[in-house]
Amino acid sequence: MLNTRLSVGLFVAAGALVLAACDSSAAPDAASLDPTKCADPNFASAHKDFCVDNASVPETPATEAATLSNGLKVRIVSAKSETVDSNAYDSGPTENVVVTIATEITNTGNATLVFPTAKSNVRTELSYGANHAKATNSAVQKSGPTDLPEQLVAGGSVTMMSTFTMRAGGADNVVFRFNPDSTTTDDITFTNVQTLYK
């Protein structure tokens, strides 16, 4: 017959092994996790830090419109790319491709929408090429930019011009990210903007 003290000792040791296996510190590292699984609420709650860092931004083809949670409908009405003398723009000497994007913003809600007074809350960002290089957003032609108005009445529309400079050779995979107020809404990410170039 097995000694009682020995059997209790074996049981305690086996329990310790099970607890060690279940210890959260033994969780897989982020490199072994699949970010696409963050859409599953159970996976997302079990891996909160990982899923926050890998939250996907919905993408919209440049030929389509997107509607924000505050009722603003946004669409790109035109985009053009041209090679120019970089001295005419506030950019570096190697950035001589200018991309101009006209974005129409329509208030589809029932109330007047007030835009933020801090222009830093408005995001207009262009990236391009295989490595998503950031275009320079300060490429304002010396005539000056078109800004958002202070407010937009229900049913009203406004067109905003965004101008960027980038290096030649990055005409593929152009992505335009826009947000009229980053403190209240998510970004809109328009893909394949180069298909709209005139």
The 10s digit of each residue's pLDDT in 27-40 is 455 557 766 666 66
CATH architecture for the domain at 59-196: Sandwich (2.60)
Higher local confidence (pLDDT), 158 or 120: 158
Compute CA distances 38 → 34, 54, 56, 110, 188, whole Å: 8, 8, 9, 34, 20
Mean pLDDT of 46-65: 75
Could you tell me the two tokens for 105?
């913003």
pLDDT of residue 20: 44
Could you tell me the two tokens for 189?
């990410």
Could you tell me the pLDDT band of residue 180, with boundaries at 50, 70 and 90? confident
H helix intervals, 23-47: 41-46
Q: Where in the sequence of the chain do the CATH 2.60.40.1240 domains occur?
A: 59-196
**Locate tokens 């209790």: which residue?**
8
Decide: helix, strand or coil at residue 186.
coil
Classify residue 76 by its DSSP letter.
Answer: E
